[in-house]
Amino acid sequence: EELRRMATIVRDSNDAILLVDFNGNIRAWNRGAKQIYGYSEAEALQMNVIQLVPPNLQGMTRAMLEKLRKGEKIGSMRPNA
């Protein structure tokens, strides 16, 4: 019951919540992501997260994915954090 409730919260959240693999491929997409980015789930599942990131943050995003792939810890995604 707890898992079902949490899944509903994630699915119905107005915040964009996506699941991304270590290569940046989008594997899950919620309603909030659709509202914010404008892509349906079917469209998003054919995309890479890099396509959603502003050009000036793409290098940082690629570096973060590489650290995750290596099992390293990452900090905040905010550029100045």
Percent of the chain whose predicted confidence (pLDDT) is above 70: 94
pLDDT-derived band at 78 (thresholds 50, 70, 90) equals low
Q: Report d(CA 66, CA 36) in Å as an integer.
A: 26
What does pTM read for this prediction?
0.81
Which residue blocks in the chain are alpha helix, DSSP H?
A: 2-12, 31-37, 41-44, 55-69
Q: Which SS3 state, helix, strand or coil, does residue 27 take? A: strand
pLDDT digits (tens, 9 = 90+) for 51-76: 999 999 999 999 999 999 999 998 87
Q: Which SS3 state, helix, strand or coil, does residue 72 take? A: coil
